[in-house]
Amino acid sequence: MLVYPGFDPVALELGPLKVRWYGITYLVAFGAAWWLARRRAAAPGSSWKPIDVDDFLFFAMLGVIFGGRIGYVLFYGMGLWRDDWLYPLRIWEGGMSFHGGLIGVLVSLAVFAVRRGRNVADVFDFAAALPGLGICAVRIGNFINGELWGRAGDAPWVMWVDGVARHPTQLYEAALEGLLVAAVTWWYTARPRPQLAPSGMFLLIYAFGRMTVEFWRMPDAHIGYLYGGWLTMGHVLTLPMAIGGVALLVIAARRNRPSGNLAAS
Protein backbone atom coordinates (compact mmCIF):
# COMPACT_ATOMS: atom_id res chain seq x y z
CA MET A 1 0.00 0.00 0.00
CA LEU A 2 1.16 3.52 -0.82
CA VAL A 3 0.53 6.70 1.13
CA TYR A 4 -0.87 9.68 -0.75
CA PRO A 5 1.69 12.50 -0.40
CA GLY A 6 -0.89 15.24 0.07
CA PHE A 7 0.36 17.68 -2.56
CA ASP A 8 -0.10 21.42 -2.18
CA PRO A 9 -2.49 22.33 -5.03
CA VAL A 10 -0.84 25.76 -5.26
CA ALA A 11 2.34 25.62 -7.31
CA LEU A 12 3.40 29.23 -6.86
CA GLU A 13 2.25 32.28 -4.92
CA LEU A 14 3.00 35.76 -6.21
CA GLY A 15 1.47 38.07 -3.65
CA PRO A 16 -2.31 37.68 -3.91
CA LEU A 17 -1.93 35.62 -7.10
CA LYS A 18 -1.95 31.85 -6.66
CA VAL A 19 -0.86 29.65 -9.56
CA ARG A 20 -2.41 26.22 -9.13
CA TRP A 21 -1.11 22.96 -10.51
CA TYR A 22 -4.56 22.27 -11.97
CA GLY A 23 -4.33 25.39 -14.10
CA ILE A 24 -0.80 24.47 -15.17
CA THR A 25 -2.00 21.07 -16.37
CA TYR A 26 -4.53 22.82 -18.62
CA LEU A 27 -1.73 24.92 -20.10
CA VAL A 28 0.23 21.72 -20.69
CA ALA A 29 -2.85 20.20 -22.34
CA PHE A 30 -3.31 23.10 -24.73
CA GLY A 31 0.42 23.23 -25.46
CA ALA A 32 0.52 19.52 -26.28
CA ALA A 33 -2.51 19.84 -28.56
CA TRP A 34 -0.92 22.80 -30.37
CA TRP A 35 2.36 20.91 -30.85
CA LEU A 36 0.66 17.80 -32.18
CA ALA A 37 -1.59 19.84 -34.46
CA ARG A 38 1.43 21.69 -35.88
CA ARG A 39 3.17 18.36 -36.53
CA ARG A 40 0.13 16.94 -38.29
CA ALA A 41 -0.35 20.13 -40.32
CA ALA A 42 3.29 19.97 -41.43
CA ALA A 43 2.93 16.40 -42.71
CA PRO A 44 3.22 15.92 -46.49
CA GLY A 45 -0.10 16.40 -48.23
CA SER A 46 -1.83 18.19 -45.35
CA SER A 47 -4.39 20.82 -46.31
CA TRP A 48 -3.77 22.66 -43.02
CA LYS A 49 -1.47 25.66 -42.58
CA PRO A 50 0.20 26.89 -39.36
CA ILE A 51 -2.17 29.86 -39.09
CA ASP A 52 -5.09 27.44 -39.35
CA VAL A 53 -3.76 25.51 -36.37
CA ASP A 54 -3.37 28.64 -34.23
CA ASP A 55 -6.95 29.76 -34.86
CA PHE A 56 -8.22 26.19 -34.51
CA LEU A 57 -6.65 25.91 -31.05
CA PHE A 58 -8.10 29.25 -29.93
CA PHE A 59 -11.61 28.06 -30.75
CA ALA A 60 -10.94 24.69 -29.10
CA MET A 61 -9.71 26.37 -25.90
CA LEU A 62 -12.90 28.41 -25.64
CA GLY A 63 -14.96 25.27 -26.10
CA VAL A 64 -13.04 23.34 -23.43
CA ILE A 65 -13.21 26.09 -20.81
CA PHE A 66 -16.79 27.22 -21.25
CA GLY A 67 -18.20 23.82 -22.16
CA GLY A 68 -16.31 22.04 -19.38
CA ARG A 69 -17.56 24.39 -16.69
CA ILE A 70 -21.13 24.68 -17.95
CA GLY A 71 -21.28 20.91 -18.39
CA TYR A 72 -20.09 20.28 -14.83
CA VAL A 73 -22.68 22.64 -13.40
CA LEU A 74 -25.50 21.10 -15.44
CA PHE A 75 -24.47 17.43 -15.06
CA TYR A 76 -23.09 17.40 -11.53
CA GLY A 77 -23.54 20.72 -9.76
CA MET A 78 -27.16 21.88 -9.97
CA GLY A 79 -27.58 21.46 -6.24
CA LEU A 80 -24.45 23.49 -5.57
CA TRP A 81 -25.70 26.17 -7.93
CA ARG A 82 -29.00 26.38 -6.06
CA ASP A 83 -27.08 26.97 -2.83
CA ASP A 84 -24.70 29.52 -4.35
CA TRP A 85 -25.71 31.44 -7.45
CA LEU A 86 -22.06 32.41 -8.06
CA TYR A 87 -20.93 28.78 -8.04
CA PRO A 88 -20.53 28.51 -11.87
CA LEU A 89 -17.93 31.32 -11.71
CA ARG A 90 -15.78 29.64 -9.05
CA ILE A 91 -13.58 27.81 -11.55
CA TRP A 92 -10.55 28.02 -9.25
CA GLU A 93 -12.32 25.60 -6.88
CA GLY A 94 -12.32 22.88 -9.55
CA GLY A 95 -15.25 21.28 -11.30
CA MET A 96 -14.83 20.70 -15.03
CA SER A 97 -16.73 18.06 -16.98
CA PHE A 98 -15.04 16.21 -19.83
CA HIS A 99 -18.39 15.57 -21.47
CA GLY A 100 -19.32 19.24 -21.23
CA GLY A 101 -15.92 20.19 -22.60
CA LEU A 102 -16.41 17.79 -25.50
CA ILE A 103 -19.76 19.35 -26.38
CA GLY A 104 -18.21 22.80 -26.10
CA VAL A 105 -15.34 21.82 -28.40
CA LEU A 106 -17.72 20.35 -30.98
CA VAL A 107 -19.72 23.57 -31.06
CA SER A 108 -16.68 25.85 -31.18
CA LEU A 109 -14.92 23.79 -33.87
CA ALA A 110 -18.11 23.71 -35.93
CA VAL A 111 -18.10 27.52 -35.81
CA PHE A 112 -14.41 27.52 -36.78
CA ALA A 113 -15.13 25.19 -39.71
CA VAL A 114 -17.94 27.37 -41.05
CA ARG A 115 -15.85 30.54 -40.71
CA ARG A 116 -12.94 28.93 -42.56
CA GLY A 117 -15.06 27.24 -45.22
CA ARG A 118 -13.99 23.77 -44.10
CA ASN A 119 -16.08 20.66 -43.78
CA VAL A 120 -17.14 20.25 -40.15
CA ALA A 121 -16.46 16.50 -40.19
CA ASP A 122 -12.91 17.12 -41.44
CA VAL A 123 -12.22 19.54 -38.60
CA PHE A 124 -13.53 17.02 -36.06
CA ASP A 125 -11.30 14.36 -37.61
CA PHE A 126 -8.27 16.64 -37.44
CA ALA A 127 -8.96 17.21 -33.74
CA ALA A 128 -9.42 13.52 -32.91
CA ALA A 129 -5.73 12.73 -32.39
CA LEU A 130 -4.94 15.79 -30.27
CA PRO A 131 -6.61 15.58 -26.82
CA GLY A 132 -5.06 12.42 -25.34
CA LEU A 133 -1.88 13.91 -23.86
CA GLY A 134 -3.88 16.82 -22.50
CA ILE A 135 -6.40 14.52 -20.85
CA CYS A 136 -3.49 12.71 -19.21
CA ALA A 137 -2.09 16.00 -17.90
CA VAL A 138 -5.42 17.16 -16.47
CA ARG A 139 -6.03 13.81 -14.74
CA ILE A 140 -2.63 14.18 -13.09
CA GLY A 141 -3.90 17.59 -11.98
CA ASN A 142 -6.89 15.83 -10.39
CA PHE A 143 -4.44 13.57 -8.58
CA ILE A 144 -2.46 16.54 -7.26
CA ASN A 145 -5.72 18.16 -6.12
CA GLY A 146 -6.63 14.98 -4.25
CA GLU A 147 -10.01 14.63 -5.97
CA LEU A 148 -11.91 11.96 -7.92
CA TRP A 149 -10.67 9.06 -5.80
CA GLY A 150 -11.76 5.49 -6.36
CA ARG A 151 -13.36 2.89 -4.17
CA ALA A 152 -11.66 1.27 -1.23
CA GLY A 153 -9.39 -1.59 -2.27
CA ASP A 154 -6.50 -3.84 -1.26
CA ALA A 155 -4.34 -3.91 -4.42
CA PRO A 156 -0.62 -3.25 -3.84
CA TRP A 157 -0.86 0.16 -5.55
CA VAL A 158 -3.87 1.55 -3.64
CA MET A 159 -3.24 4.74 -1.68
CA TRP A 160 -3.97 5.59 1.93
CA VAL A 161 -6.16 8.70 1.84
CA ASP A 162 -7.91 10.13 4.89
CA GLY A 163 -7.86 6.82 6.69
CA VAL A 164 -9.04 4.72 3.72
CA ALA A 165 -7.04 2.72 1.17
CA ARG A 166 -8.42 3.86 -2.20
CA HIS A 167 -7.78 3.17 -5.86
CA PRO A 168 -5.97 6.14 -7.49
CA THR A 169 -8.50 6.32 -10.29
CA GLN A 170 -7.15 9.68 -11.44
CA LEU A 171 -4.00 7.82 -12.53
CA TYR A 172 -6.08 5.05 -14.09
CA GLU A 173 -7.83 7.73 -16.14
CA ALA A 174 -4.53 9.39 -17.03
CA ALA A 175 -3.42 6.04 -18.47
CA LEU A 176 -6.62 4.88 -20.19
CA GLU A 177 -8.35 8.14 -21.15
CA GLY A 178 -5.07 9.90 -21.76
CA LEU A 179 -2.09 7.83 -22.87
CA LEU A 180 -4.11 5.01 -24.46
CA VAL A 181 -6.30 7.46 -26.38
CA ALA A 182 -3.25 9.45 -27.46
CA ALA A 183 -1.38 6.38 -28.71
CA VAL A 184 -4.29 4.76 -30.54
CA THR A 185 -5.64 7.91 -32.21
CA TRP A 186 -2.19 9.16 -33.29
CA TRP A 187 -1.35 5.74 -34.75
CA TYR A 188 -4.76 5.42 -36.40
CA THR A 189 -4.61 8.85 -38.04
CA ALA A 190 -1.01 8.48 -39.23
CA ARG A 191 -2.35 7.17 -42.54
CA PRO A 192 -5.34 8.36 -44.59
CA ARG A 193 -8.67 7.28 -43.18
CA PRO A 194 -12.21 7.78 -44.49
CA GLN A 195 -13.99 10.90 -43.34
CA LEU A 196 -15.48 10.50 -39.81
CA ALA A 197 -13.38 7.41 -39.02
CA PRO A 198 -10.88 9.32 -36.80
CA SER A 199 -13.73 10.92 -34.87
CA GLY A 200 -15.37 7.54 -34.37
CA MET A 201 -12.13 5.97 -33.16
CA PHE A 202 -11.58 8.74 -30.62
CA LEU A 203 -15.10 8.40 -29.22
CA LEU A 204 -14.84 4.61 -29.00
CA ILE A 205 -11.41 4.45 -27.34
CA TYR A 206 -12.18 7.22 -24.87
CA ALA A 207 -15.49 5.59 -23.97
CA PHE A 208 -13.72 2.27 -23.35
CA GLY A 209 -11.23 3.91 -20.99
CA ARG A 210 -13.75 6.05 -19.11
CA MET A 211 -16.39 3.36 -18.65
CA THR A 212 -13.74 0.91 -17.43
CA VAL A 213 -12.43 3.31 -14.77
CA GLU A 214 -15.96 4.23 -13.66
CA PHE A 215 -16.30 0.77 -12.09
CA TRP A 216 -13.56 1.76 -9.61
CA ARG A 217 -14.12 5.51 -9.36
CA MET A 218 -16.32 6.89 -6.60
CA PRO A 219 -19.26 8.98 -7.86
CA ASP A 220 -19.66 12.58 -6.76
CA ALA A 221 -20.83 12.52 -3.15
CA HIS A 222 -23.87 14.73 -3.79
CA ILE A 223 -25.05 12.42 -6.61
CA GLY A 224 -24.00 8.91 -5.61
CA TYR A 225 -24.70 5.79 -7.62
CA LEU A 226 -27.66 5.96 -9.95
CA TYR A 227 -28.46 2.23 -9.83
CA GLY A 228 -27.32 -1.00 -8.23
CA GLY A 229 -24.28 0.38 -6.43
CA TRP A 230 -22.27 0.56 -9.66
CA LEU A 231 -23.98 2.77 -12.29
CA THR A 232 -22.60 6.31 -12.22
CA MET A 233 -23.34 9.53 -14.05
CA GLY A 234 -20.05 8.95 -15.86
CA HIS A 235 -21.42 5.69 -17.28
CA VAL A 236 -24.62 7.38 -18.42
CA LEU A 237 -22.79 10.25 -20.12
CA THR A 238 -20.16 8.03 -21.74
CA LEU A 239 -22.41 5.31 -23.19
CA PRO A 240 -23.65 7.58 -26.02
CA MET A 241 -20.00 8.22 -26.92
CA ALA A 242 -19.38 4.49 -27.34
CA ILE A 243 -22.50 4.07 -29.46
CA GLY A 244 -21.66 7.16 -31.50
CA GLY A 245 -18.10 5.96 -32.03
CA VAL A 246 -19.22 2.62 -33.42
CA ALA A 247 -21.85 4.33 -35.59
CA LEU A 248 -19.32 6.77 -37.06
CA LEU A 249 -16.85 3.98 -37.85
CA VAL A 250 -19.57 2.02 -39.64
CA ILE A 251 -20.76 5.09 -41.56
CA ALA A 252 -17.18 5.97 -42.51
CA ALA A 253 -16.49 2.46 -43.79
CA ARG A 254 -19.68 2.35 -45.86
CA ARG A 255 -19.32 5.80 -47.41
CA ASN A 256 -15.52 5.58 -47.77
CA ARG A 257 -15.38 9.32 -48.44
CA PRO A 258 -11.81 10.73 -48.57
CA SER A 259 -10.75 13.20 -45.90
CA GLY A 260 -10.58 16.86 -46.76
CA ASN A 261 -7.61 17.18 -44.42
CA LEU A 262 -5.43 15.96 -47.28
CA ALA A 263 -4.81 18.23 -50.24
CA ALA A 264 -6.16 16.93 -53.53
CA SER A 265 -3.39 15.39 -55.61
In tens digits, the chain (265 residues) has pLDDT values of 899 999 999 999 988 888 999 889 999 999 999 999 999 999 999 999 988 999 999 999 999 988 888 888 887 766 666 667 666 666 655 677 888 889 999 999 999 999 999 999 999 999 999 999 999 999 999 999 999 999 999 999 999 998 999 999 999 999 999 999 999 999 999 999 999 999 999 999 999 999 999 999 998 777 888 888 889 988 999 999 999 999 999 999 999 999 999 986 5
Distance in angstroms (rounded) separating the CA atoms of residues 51 and 254: 33
pLDDT value for 220: 76
- Look up the pTM and report it: 0.90
At 87 the pLDDT is 66
Q: Give me the long-range contacts of 52-60 (CB less than 8 A, separation at least 24).
A: 52/116, 55/112, 55/116, 56/109, 56/112, 56/123, 56/126, 56/127, 57/30, 57/33, 59/108, 59/109, 59/111, 59/112, 60/33, 60/105, 60/108, 60/109, 60/127
Question: What integer pLDDT is reported at residue 244 of this predicted model?
Answer: 97
Q: Residue 249: what residue type? A: L
Give me the residues paired with residue 161 across strands: 164
